[in-house]
Structure 1
Amino acid sequence: MAAVASPAVDTTERVGAGTVEELQDAGVLTVAGTAIGARHGITVFWHEGQAYAVDNRCPHMGFPFARGTCKDGVLTCNWHYARFDLQSGGTFDLFADNVRTYPVEIEDGRVWIHPNRTDAGQERAHWLRRLDEGLEQNISLVQAKAVLGLHDLDTPAADIVRRAARHGLRFGSSRNADGWGDGLTILTATAHILEDLAPEDQSLALYHGVRSVGGDANGMRTTFDLEPLSVRDVPIERLQAWFREFIEVRSTDAAERTLRTAIAEGATPQQVATMLCAASTDHYYRDGSHVLDTVAKAFELLDLVGWEQADEVLPNIVPQIATSSRQEESNSWQHPVNLIDIVEPASVQLPEVLDLDATPSGQWDIALVDALLEDDPAAAIDALMAAFRGGMALADAAQAVAYASALRLTRFPTSNEFGDWDTVLHHFTYCQSVAQMAKRVPSLELARGVLHGAMVVYLGRFLNIPPAHLPGKRTLAAQPSDPEELTTKLLALCDQQSQVDEAGAVVYRYLTLGHEPQPLLAAMGGSVLREDPGFHDFQMLEEGLRLYHDLAAVGRLEESWQVLVAIARWQAAHSPTRRATTQTYDIALRLHRGEDIYAPSRY
């Protein structure tokens, strides 16, 4: 939503608000503003060394802003807690509206307020936009305000109906399996009866039609973009603080608008990534890995499409962050061992022990991984803190945690329930996302994610009881030696159900014989693509291969092999599927080749 921009100072007409000293002493002054178009008076605030003037009437429900509060550049109405950027008047809460601001001039120790008028054309454009927003957000109060505002400006009813109908058709009927919705019927009916109604009821009739269309489209619409604030030169530190606070109170619109402002103001990818990672780790293991997974994926997508698409990509992840679960509220994180009490003291010490400038080397002691896999969460945290004290880079510690989480998959016994595969996968993708973001933007906030990841690994310990083991020499010797035979056998195993252990043995055999890895990786990728792969299948393949390459690049061959075994075991556990997706692709491929699909079969 576009914020109300303050025009250049008009010195032909102004209203005095008192002296600077009076304003500083009181903090807030209210003055009559009818002479410059402020029907309800003007509130002037002295905040952070500057004077700001706004209309005294909250655009939501009319509460006087003189009884509101200002903090960190945010004006809050103390009735329904609508929040506004004090400088631009832009609202963070779409159930309200932007508040009109007025240019302020200080001359000879006195505070002067200048006009900020709009003409009828600007007013009409504003209310048409508010009508759109009321429909998009399905806020009936905003819809009613827009209809009334447009009616007062003598806007033809046909214009309002067309606007609402366009929304209903684009975002309701076209996305509804049943087609035309009841809302469009009601809207059409109200338009037809307007001439039979008393003038004072015509706006009410239009409101009923608009409201019904908004209800039809609700839940079937795409996400509608919010506009960044029109304010300029807001320090990135303030925007980051705003974003985290809005996420903390689950205020999705406010957080999104803050993020869009940061991007529009030219914040760097690193600054924006730091903002999102901080909010994502302000609580433990948000949404069971999904939040940080999504943040990491969003930045990886931007690596592919370019940072200039940030305003299209990143705002889409804000709702997930804002509404996510917080695992410190769950039983497993507090009983029988209170993991929060173990992690919090360590988090406080991170600024003292962690060198954020340390260069990642991929070198970490396997003893650290062993500590992470033990049945002692305090020892795991102690091991990480000792590594930080020894100068270990954040990305290296994060990689060690990610590798430990991968071993939970390598050692996952088939005696577990099938659904538990997803549990250890979520643990792995979370730790791997932390590791990837730690390479991108190491920060103290993200370091908390490493500690959280260690607790995630601890919580997965019961899914390695008893642990599955890598095959011994005798088992390996029973497998083929030829690389092509091994890859062929791997694919054949995935044509059968529950060949988990043998699939892992085939992959480990291939690697220990020193064969070129690429044919094996291609076979593993093909094994997924020929199925009807789900979201988790792609996660396992992508993150597993990424960790494999990261480990192999620094000479950790044995560790990298164990990650590939984890991938193979997952794939074998989830194969075969109906392969309907592949069938559709094969038909398309045959047509592309010019084959006669319609020809009778020879069989």
Structure 2
Amino acid sequence: MVVENTEYVRVASLPDLEAEGQQVVNAGGRPVALFHHEGEVHAVDNRCPHMGFPLSRGTIDEGILTCHWHHARFELEAGDTFDLFADDLQTFPTEIRDDEIYLDPEPEPDVPPATRWRNRLADGLQENLSLVMAKSVIGLDDVAQSVVRDGEAVSSSRETQSASRTTTERSSGERSEPRDEEKEGFYTPLETAVNFGTKYRAMGWGRGLTTLGCMANLYDAVGGRDKRRAMFLGVHEVASESAGEPPRFQQYAFDNRDLSKERLKSWFRNTCEVRDGDGAERCLLTAIACLSPEDVAEVVFAAATDHRYMNAGHTLDFINTAFETVEHLGWDEHADTALASTVGQITDATRSEELSSWRQPVDIAGLCADANESLPDLVAAGDGKEWDEPEDFVETLLSDDAEAIIDALTGAIRDGATTTQLADVVARAATRRVAWFATNNEFRDWNTVHHTLTYADAVRRASEKTDATELYRACFDGAMSVYLDRFLNSPRAPVPEPGETDHAPEAIRERLLEAFDEQGQVNRAASLVSEHFDAGGDPEDLKRSLGRGLLREDANFHTLQNVETAFRRFETVDEEDEKRLALVACARYMAAHFPTRRSAEQTFSIATRLHRGERLHEVE
């Protein structure tokens, strides 16, 4: 007979299906399960949308199809799932003609793919479902790649993502139409997770959102598929930290919009000083509504440096990452939600001047306080001067004389050193603490030198957002943390010297990943990174290999931070030996913490195979 609708294809005989109850047919190259239930013919994708188990091996009862592996249940008519850990089931329209069954193998989707995957990402965040989040990130990236494959221009750079964005909803996890499909691989996971994490975690900006921001910063530096891994890891950490937490209720800005920067800065610092979180948040939201991003940064970083090295450096580091995440997403749409969520990092922070280590046996908190008081005179003296860094300045910061360190810093300011210059030299000293870390120390002391490095680099990065004089105080704090870490370099671990090698860069990178497969290969990993420089290898290839080594692991928060910081240090410094040292220190830290169980990589691999349509099971 002639079939009027040529989109439909014949797949089975109705009498045969009635007799057997179910059949598996091939339609458009995909296995489709046919069911005869309650007098109707139903056609569904035979692969369970959860993990691909054949649904023809499931059972139907009262219109509910149940997969026998993980017991995911689906409404048979339309394919809607009862269980969010699965997904809605693909169904196919059918027609009966002369006792023959026809179906449409390519039905139009109910929603565009980008919308579907964004909705599923929201489900994964809300339910803390790793596999759902991995599938969603992969699906969103595939949408972006399909735009490229169709010949349309796409950029994954931070600047393009931010500059070309359009207005979107600011509530979190809520479902909304995606804007431009080419942004889906980067922008949508970032935005959706930021909205979720700032709304559904009462404590506000913490480890999860900072991890997400770090992964966004790493995005351009890692390889193609590792970009997907980075975004999956980021959203997963947000969901994990938010799971079981009460929601956060954001405050409101003041109605008065005629407030000066000086007034808002004073109010914000005063409310933070007395740990008044609600009052501080209202001041900050008003500042965001009234002031430029540069002025808001001055207000926030001034308060973040009113006390010494708060929360072991995490306070300033987390706040800086929040600012950078807003840069990715767009200031006008996301500054209020993201930055307001950081207030607790200041008001609830441990202040290091309250710790005995900052008071005894040397009162380094007092030294910092004295230096802070002299800042107006120092800055005035240095006005118009250009600082010429002494050759031994870094070694001075690495010495065991706290007063000499403070004197060197104050002298640099008097000679015209900017906050960026001073923060950078402190970060160079902190890099050496990691590179020289002696493995005869307790394992947890890796975190101590790591905290100093990430803090010092965060200060430098903050100095690019504001030229606030208060950031000099953070330079003093960072230098004193470098001072406190000095015993962790006793003795100094050897750092590989530049030399010659006969090995090809590709082989060296392979050996580096192999070193990460074994515990304790700290010095070997450092040597291989140094050798890659000796071989003239492209540092961008080396960074991609380090990124690969990082993202295949169940890396802890500090390791993720450490790699992101090292990559930023590499981009910041000009000298070849400083670039080399940044990645050597990073490789040592990574090797000390690898390998792990790689359970997240298993989840990501399953999601990738399912997205490709591969079989996870031999039966069909």
Say whether the fold is shared (TM-score over 0.5).
yes
SS in 2 for 1:597: coil
Secondary structure, aligned partner of 2:459? helix
Which of the numbers 260, 272, 281 marks the counterpart of 1:235? Answer: 260
For residues 199-240 of structure 1, the C-alpha deviation after alignment (integer angstroms, 9 at most, x for no partner) is: xxxxxxxxxxxxxxxxxxxx8421111111222312221111
The structure showing larger relative contact order (alpha-carbon pairs under 8 Å, at least 6 residues apart) is 2
Matches within 5 A, 1:159-170: none
Equivalent residues of 2:317, 2:455 under 8 A apart: yes
Aligned to 1:587: 606
Structure 1 residue corresponding to 2:585, chosen from 541, 549, 566: 566
Q: Does the 8 Å CA contact 2:281/2:343 hold for their aligned counterparts?
A: yes
Q: Give the structure 2 partner of residue 294 of structure 1.
A: 318
- Distance in 2 between residues matched to 1:585 and 1:353, nearest whole Å: 53
Task: Kindly indicate whether the alpha-carbon contact (under 8 Å) linking 1:358 and 1:392 is maintained by their aligned counterparts in 2.
Answer: no
Q: Gaps spanning 5+ residues in structure 2: where?
A: 1-198, 202-243
Match of 2:70 in 1: none
| 8 Å contact from structure 2 (residues 518, 595) kept in 1 | yes
Shift of 1:568: 0.2
Q: 1:417 to 1:315 in 2, by over 3 A?
A: same
Opposite residue 344 of structure 1, the aligned amino acid is: A
Distance 2:413 2:317 in 1: 24
1:310 aligns with 2:335: yes
- Name the structure 1 match of 2:166: none
Match of 2:291 among 256, 261, 267: 267
Which residue of structure 2 lines up, in the alignment, with residue 596 of structure 1?
Answer: 615
CA distance in 2, matches of 1:447, 1:350: 8
8 Å CA contact 2:387–2:416 kept in 1: the answer is: no
Partner of 1:546: 568
What SS class does the counterpart of residue 392 from structure 2 fall into?
helix
User: Does the alignment pair 1:452 with 2:477?
Assistant: yes
2:575 partner letter: R
Q: SS of the counterpart of 1:444?
A: coil
Structure-2-length-normalised TM-score: 0.59
Q: Against the structure 1 CA distance between its residues 363 and 530, is the aligned structure 2 distance closer, same or farther, given a 3 Å change threshold?
A: farther
Match of 2:404 among 360, 367, 379: 379
Q: Would you say the 8 A contact 1:360–1:396 is kept in 2? A: no
Q: Tell whether 2:272 aligns with 1:247.
A: yes
CA distance in 1, matches of 2:461, 2:382: 17
Q: Distance in 2 between matches of 1:362 and 1:592?
A: 56
1:398-417 matches, within 5 Å, as 398-417=423-442
Q: 1:533 aligns with which of 538, 541, 555?
A: 555
Write the distance in 1 (CA, Å) between the matches of 2:342 and 2:385. 29
Q: Is the 8 A contact 1:364 1:400 kept in 2?
A: no
Which residue identity does 1:567 align to in structure 2? Answer: C
For the 8 Å contact 1:229–1:261, the answer to whether it is kept is: yes
Q: Which has the larger radius of gyration?
A: 1
Q: Secondary structure at the match of 1:247?
A: helix
Deviations 1:214-270 (A, max 9, x none): xxxxx8421111111222312221111111001000000010111111222x21111
- 3-state SS of the aligned residue for 1:418? coil
Counterpart contact for 2:305–2:473, Cα < 8 Å: yes
Distance verdict in 2 for CA 1:220–1:492, change over 3 Å: closer
Equivalent residue, structure 1, for 2:528: 506
Are the counterparts in 2 of residues 406 and 428 from structure 1 also a CA contact under 8 Å? Answer: yes
Shift in alpha-carbon separation, 1:384–1:426, aligned structure 2, 3 A: same
1:275/1:370 Cα in 2 relative to 1: closer, same or farther (>3 Å)? same
Q: Which residue pairs with 2:507 in the alignment?
A: 485
Change (3 A) 1:359 1:520: farther
**C-alpha distance in 2 between matches for 1:434 and 1:360:** 22
* 2:465 paired residue number: 440
The residue correspondences of 1:31-50 to structure 2 (distance < 5 A) are: none
Whole-angstrom CA distance in 1 between matches of 2:420 and 2:385: 6
Following TM superposition, by how much is the alpha carbon of 1:345 offset from its aligned partner in structure 2, in angstroms? 2.2
Give CA deviations for 1:376-413 in whole Å, capped at 9, x if unaligned: 11111111122222222220111000110111000001
Match for residue 493 of structure 2? 468
Residues 51-80 of structure 1, C-alpha deviations (whole Å, 9 max, x = no match): xxxxxxxxxxxxxxxxxxxxxxxxxxxxxx
Counterpart of 2:309, as a letter, is Y
Q: Find the aligned partners of 1:364 and 1:528 in 2 and give their Cα distance.
A: 35
Q: What is the rounded CA distance, in whole Å, between the counterparts of 1:569 and 1:494 in structure 2? A: 10
The amino acid that maps onto 2:453 is F
Q: Deviations over 1:284-335 (max 9, x none)?
A: 0000011001110111011111111111111100112100000001010010
- Equivalent residue, structure 1, for 2:376: 351
CA offsets, 1:528-547, max 9 Å, x none? Answer: 00101222121101111101
Aligned-partner SS, 2:470: helix
| Shift of residue 358, structure 1, vs aligned partner | 7.2
In the alignment, the residues of structure 1 paired with residue 384 and residue 320 of structure 2 have an alpha-carbon distance, to the nearest angstrom, of: 21
- Assess, with a 3 A threshold, how the Cα gap between structure 1 residues 587 and 356 changes in structure 2: closer, same or farther: farther
CA contact 2:277–2:347 (8 Å) conserved in 1: yes
User: In the alignment, what sits opposite 1:90?
Assistant: none
State whether residues 287 and 326 of structure 1, in contact with CA within 8 Å, keep that contact through their aligned partners in structure 2. Answer: yes
Q: Structure 2 vs 1, CA of residues 541 and 490 (structure 1 numbering), >3 Å: closer, same or farther?
A: same
* TM-superposition CA deviations, 1:518-574 (whole Å, max 9, x none): 1111101110001012221211011111011110xxx31101111110000011001
Q: Match for residue 198 of structure 1?
A: none
Output the CA distance in 1 between the equivalents of 2:619 and 2:528. 40
Deviations 1:345-365 (A, max 9, x none): 222222222369979999734
Q: What pairs up with 1:133-148 in 2 under 5 angstroms?
A: none
Aligned partner of residue 354 in structure 1, secondary structure: helix
Q: d(CA) in 2 for partners of 1:419 and 1:600?
A: 47
Deviation at 1:500, TM superposition (A): 0.2
Change in 2 beyond 3 A, CA 1:486/1:362? farther
Cα-Cα RMSD: 2.5
Deviates more, 1:387-396 or 1:457-466: 387-396
The reply to whether residue 323 of structure 1 matches residue 348 of structure 2 is yes
2:541 aligned to 519, 523, 527, which one? 519
CA distance in 2, matches of 1:359, 1:597: 67
Give the residue type in structure 1 aligned to 2:314: H
Q: 2-side partners of 1:386 and 1:328: how far apart?
A: 23
Distance, in Å, in 1 between the alignment partners of 2:339 and 2:568 is 23
Q: 1:358 to 1:545 in 2, by over 3 A?
A: farther
Does structure 2 retain, via aligned residues, the 8 Å contact 1:356–1:393?
no
1:171 is displaced (CA, Å) by: 8.7
* Shift in alpha-carbon separation, 1:359–1:424, aligned structure 2, 3 A: farther
In structure 2, C-alpha distance between the alignment counterparts of 1:277 and 1:567, rounded to whole Å: 27
In 2, Cα distance between equivalents of 1:405 and 1:244? 28
- The number of residues matched between the two structures is 381
